[in-house]
Chain A
Amino acid sequence: MSGTIQGATGTWEMVIGLEVHAQITSNSKLFSGASTAFGAEPNTQVGLVDAAMPGMLPVINKVCVEQAVRTGLGLKAQINLRSVFDRKNYFYPDLPQGYQISQFLQPVVGAGTVVLDMDDGRTREIGITRLHLEQDAGKSVHDLSPDRTYVDLNRSGIALMEIVSEPDLRSSEEAGAYLRKLRSILRYLGTCDGNMEQGSMRADVNVSVRRPGADYGTRCEIKNVNSVRFVQQAIEYEAQRQVDILEEGGVIAQQTRLFDSRKGETRSMRSKEEAHDYRYFPDPDLLPLEFTQAWVDEIASSLPELPDDRKARFVGELGLSPYDAGVLVAEKEVAEFFEEAARDRDAKAVANWIMGDLFGALNKSGLDIARSPISAAHLGALVDLIADDTISGRIAKDVFDEMMKTGRPPAEIVDQRGLRQVTDSGAIEAIVDAVMESNPDKVAEYRGGKDRLFGFFVGQVMKQSQGKANPKIVNDLLQQKLSG
């Protein structure tokens, strides 16, 4: 699917920008010493600051600032040595202060870039407008009572990074690729666990449509979408909705909408309309956030290798294709598994095993790479056994299945089950002779010009040898004897 919609009156182009709220990995909250651990009993991780008791003052957590700077560096973004906290004012039961401490005019991180690797091998550069620090709100629970809302403030005050993209995305696929790439970068950096199911990454999606090359249309914002798939569905639905309105001669009203994942549609959130007037002003409880370039440099020197750099290394040093390298670096754990398995070996062969058989088998058993029954060392050993002709590629598939089931090392399986490849040409010759003797009619047909029968003989010899005969020797011997 491309980012264009064919309407009755012509072609429309989607324009998409994302605001991603990423929960910062830290022990305690942005402005209080309460814990950030997920899943605690309601209201047990709330300090008096988080509950907005009168007279409480916020004190900033230095590690949260460091994490925001680290993320900014990972996004190749401008780091602002001076930024300012503002109050964003609105009323909601899960926001006890009556305002969210955020950054409006002077965010801690400015413009940056994310490079997308698309499935067809293209890359796309997406602009990052800014990244700012802000507090999360508490959680409202609506399904515990028919007429009451329950409020848990454990999440209240946890540090978030709001990462705002330019309206550079042109299709739901690009939006999905952007979210996955951003999540990958955050995980490499260790600044957010990227766990969308637990809400540590959520996206507000801005969608508009326009004639290709025309000015931007009026956008609608879809709030708080919590999975990559839902983001893509919401974009497809919303863009089509806008095209339908425009083609009937209507106009798009700028709106806040929510995505109903059960129905797969977006609808207007009327309550949010007037809340758009947030009356931002500098928070008088907090001085400007200032730090030195030396501190930023120190953080920069401790950055890990990021997915793009790792991909370039896999292509440049290990000879992988850009596509394969892109797949392998997306998850940090997969990249590390690959590097261990491929050390001093044929990297392409190892990559093929991981991306084909291993991903397939893990997927089938619902496991991720961290819980793979086959260790990186064992997978590497399997590739060695093929490389030194101990087993054939076909037998290796059986050994792989056994490794997946038992987690045992491949050499042990090969020895125990007697799978060692037969490379003794005398032994293979005996089998070839026997096969030819018991199929005199087929031999005659082959010699009479029916070339296609060659495969039959190969199959028979392999079967007789229980798959263990070296395929090259089998081929050579058959060629020689059948033509003779």
Chain B
Amino acid sequence: MSLDKATVARIARLARISLPDEDLAPMADELSGILKWIEQLNEVDTAGVEPMTSVVGHPLHHRDDVVTDGGCREDILGNATETADGYFVVPKVIE
């Protein structure tokens, strides 16, 4: 499977990555190369092999349902470019 320039442009837009037109073709080549390796892996017969989800051999950790966090608005808003009345403030995003 190989990717064309239009698909690469679409993926870039969905990921909010700005990609100049002249970079589309080289990027398409690189990504197609990666996909080719994946396809090569698909040639291995994995019938009867349990899919591996993690290399760590322990179960998912969980927490008790108690409030242990929050109440740190200063820290939360600390890096924001704009705030007001305890809110993050961003350009208008409504239709």
Interface residues of A in 145-161 (CB under 8 A from B): 145, 147-153
> In the complex where A35-B67, A49-B69, A288-B60 touch, is A148 in contact with B90 (Cβ < 8 A)?
yes
CB distance from A242 to the nearest CB of B (A): 21
Partner of B89, one of A26, A151, A277: A151
CB distance from A238 to the nearest CB of B (A): 18
0/1 interface trace, chain A 116-155, chain B, CB 8 Å (1 if under): 0000000000000000000000001110110111111100
Q: Which residues of A contact B61 (CB under 8 A)?
A: 59-60
0/1 interface trace, chain A 200-237, chain B, CB 8 Å (1 if under): 00000000000000000000000000000000000000
A393 adjacent to chain B (CB < 8 Å)? no
Partner of A287, one of B15, B59, B64, B69: B59
Task: Tell me which of B21-29, B36-44, B79-87 binds A.
Answer: B79-87
What is the bound-complex CA distance between A269 and B93, given in angstroms? 12
Partner of A150, one of B62, B65, B89: B89
Q: Which residues of B contact A34 (CB under 8 A)?
A: 67, 69-70
Q: Which residues of A contact B90 (CB under 8 A)?
A: 93, 148-149, 151
Is the Cβ of B84 less than 8 Å from the Cβ of A33? no
> In the complex where A141-B87, A279-B14 touch, is A61 in contact with B63 (Cβ < 8 A)?
yes
Is the Cβ of A28 less than 8 Å from the Cβ of B60? no
Partner of B91, one of A33, A89, A148: A148
Main secondary structure on chain A at its contact with chain B? loop
What is the bound-complex CA distance between A84 and B60, given in angstroms? 11
What is the bound-complex CA distance between A321 and B9, given in angstroms? 64
- Give the B interface residue count (CB, 8 A): 39
A32 adjacent to chain B (CB < 8 Å)? yes
Is the Cβ of A43 less than 8 Å from the Cβ of B75? no
> In the complex where A33-B68, A34-B67, A93-B93 touch, is A42 in contact with B53 (Cβ < 8 A)?
no
Smallest CB-CB separation from B65: which chain A residue? A63
Smallest CB-CB separation from A258: which chain B residue? B95
What is the bound-complex CA distance between A59 and B59, given in angstroms? 12
Is the Cβ of A150 less than 8 Å from the Cβ of B63? no
Is the Cβ of A148 less than 8 Å from the Cβ of B89? yes
- Give the A interface residue count (CB, 8 A): 53
What is the bound-complex CA distance between A1 and B87, given in angstroms? 45
Is the Cβ of A48 less than 8 Å from the Cβ of B87? no
0/1 interface trace, chain B 47-65, chain A, CB 8 Å (1 if under): 0000001101011111111
What is the bound-complex CA distance between A59 and B47, given in angstroms? 33
0/1 interface trace, chain A 50-85, chain B, CB 8 Å (1 if under): 010000000111111100000000000000000010
What is the bound-complex CA distance between A290 and B54, given in angstroms? 14
Q: Which residues of B contact A41 (CB under 8 A)?
A: 73, 86
Q: Which residues of A contact B16 (CB under 8 A)?
A: 91
Q: Residues of A at under 8 Å CB distance from B?
A: 26-28, 32-35, 41-49, 51, 59-65, 84, 89, 91-93, 140-142, 144-145, 147-153, 269-271, 274, 277, 279, 282, 286-290
Q: Residues of B at under 8 Å CB distance from A?
A: 13-16, 53-54, 56, 58-73, 75-77, 82, 84-95
- Nearest 6 interchain pairs by C-beta: A33-B68, A47-B69, A63-B65, A34-B70, A33-B69, A150-B87
